[in-house]
């Protein structure tokens, strides 16, 4: 059995997983998530701001200490959409290297493959469309996991995420309450990308039996819908969220200021500024792909990253054709 620590740094959240992996299967995985907003102001400036860099570095340092305390001998560290976009991403990479990490900015294709690997563990032999909806991008992957072998029809990354949509269309007013015109523009922006995803879906040789989504927006929507306090991952994982649910939540949230959203049961207060942008993206994902509902998964990129990190530690082949760099925690 291989114990491994994984740190994933996204546009909105910084996350840690400590996992025990054996024969390509995750036996136990403990996750922690912190909203650090690496992508703050990125759409306007094209750069990672100093405050965001400090937040992420501080959080990653804490995660390294936790991984050591959990007796994980090795750690991997990945960065996704915000780091891909920022012209000064080398600065956050250098700061993380200063913590003893070996950070890698991974392309959207790898991000999508890792997420599919994690999600598909719950759907063996079933053709599924997986959407990893984050702060800066959404990765769509269609395929199946059969007898431990991935068969992917396509993987594509689209520049649609809760922070990107928010900063481009929904943040002009201090209250955070958009006009109907701004909201319509946000919907059309999201739809313009997901229509491309629908075209890929239509041309694929296999048809998915379901849409499975992961990320902070969909898990928050389930928690908000059920008014989960405290958050219950067992309730959220594999819970169904319908288009009707998403549309109802949008009608409720769009009328609230950011301060009022922060008081909603089931929503992390730090996610209040970007939740409406996330709802817009998820609603258009459902409409464009033709699904009336999606299944929410917590077996996301971190789950897949743990599997390939264990393979790297053991010198085995990667099920997604990519292996991370590992740093020692000794």
Q: Are 158 and 238 in contact (CB under 8 A)?
A: no
| Side-chain half-sphere CA neighbours of 133 within 13 A | 36
CATH number attached to the domain at 110-296? 3.30.420.150
- Give domain 2-106+301-328's CATH architecture: 2-Layer Sandwich (3.30)
Question: What tokens appear for 155 in the block?
Answer: 């993987």
Distance, in Å, from the CA atom of 49 to the CA atom of 248, rounded to the nearest integer, reads 35
- Structural domain boundaries of the chain? 2-106+301-328, 110-296
pLDDT for 44 equals 87
Domains 2-106+301-328 and 110-296 share a fold: yes
The string of DSSP letters for 69-113 reads HTT-SEEEEEE-HHHHH-TTHHHHHHHHHTTT--EEE--HHHHHH
Beta bridge partners, 131, equal 140, 213
Q: Are 6 and 306 in contact (CB under 8 A)?
A: yes
Cβ atoms of residues 155 and 138 within 8 Å: no
Print pLDDT tens along the chain (330 aa): 899 999 999 999 999 999 999 988 899 889 999 999 999 999 889 999 999 999 999 999 999 999 999 999 999 999 999 999 999 999 999 999 999 999 999 999 999 999 999 999 999 999 999 999 999 999 999 999 988 889 999 999 999 999 999 999 998 787 889 999 999 999 999 999 999 999 999 999 999 999 999 999 999 999 999 999 999 999 999 999 999 999 999 999 999 999 999 999 999 999 999 999 999 999 999 999 999 999 999 999 999 999 999 999 999 999 999 999 999 998
Per the confidence metrics, is the pTM higher than 0.85?
yes
Residues 254, 276: contact at Cβ < 8 Å? yes
Q: For 316, which DSSP code?
A: P
Facing residues of 8 across strands?
15, 78
- Return d(Cα 44, Cα 57) in angstroms, integer: 22
Beta strand pairing call for 13-22 and 25-35: antiparallel
Q: Which residues sit opposite 144 in a β-bridge?
A: 151
Residue 31, classed as helix, strand or coil, is strand
Which three-class secondary structure state does DSSP give residue 135? coil
List, in order, residues 6 or more apart from 173 with CB less than 8 Å away: none
């Amino acid at each position: 059995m291989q114990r491994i620590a994984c740190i994933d740094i996204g546009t909105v959240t910084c996350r840690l997983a400590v996992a025990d992996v054996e024969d390509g299967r995750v036996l136990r995985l403990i996750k922690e998530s912190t909203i650090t907003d690496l992508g703050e102001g990125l759409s306007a400036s094209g750069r990672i701001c100093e405050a965001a860099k400090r937040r992420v570095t501080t959080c990653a340092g804490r995660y390294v200490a936790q991984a050591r305390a959990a007796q994980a001998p090795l750690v991997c560290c990945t960065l996704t959409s915000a780091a891909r976009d920022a012209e000064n991403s080398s600065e956050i990479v250098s700061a993380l290297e200063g913590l003893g990490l070996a950070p890698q900015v991974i392309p959207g294709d790898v991000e999508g493959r890792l997420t599919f690997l994690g999600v598909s563990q719950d759907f063996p032999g079933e053709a599924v469309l997986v959407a990893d909806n984050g702060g800066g991008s959404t990765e769509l992957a269609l395929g199946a996991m059969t007898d431990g072998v991935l068969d992917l029809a396509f993987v594509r990354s689209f520049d649609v995420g809760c922070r990107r949509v928010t900063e481009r269309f929904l943040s002009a007013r201090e209250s955070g309450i958009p006009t109907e015109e701004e909201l319509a523009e946000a919907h059309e922006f999201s739809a313009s990308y997901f229509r491309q995803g629908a075209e890929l879906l239509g041309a694929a040789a296999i048809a998915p039996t379901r849409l499975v989504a992961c990320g902070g927006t969909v898990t928050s929507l389930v928690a908000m819908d059920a008014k989960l306090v405290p958050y219950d991952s067992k309730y959220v994982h594999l819970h169904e969220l319908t288009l009707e649910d998403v549309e109802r939540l949008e009608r409720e949230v769009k009328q609230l200021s950011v301060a009022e959203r922060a008081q909603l049961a089931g929503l992390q207060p730090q996610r209040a500024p970007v939740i409406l942008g996330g709802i817009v993206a998820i609603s258009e994902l459902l409409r464009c792909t033709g699904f009336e509902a999606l299944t929410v998964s917590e077996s996301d990129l971190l789950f897949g990253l743990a599997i390939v990190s264990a393979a790297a530690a053991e010198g085995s082949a990667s099920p997604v054709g990519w292996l991370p760099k590992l740093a020692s925690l000794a």
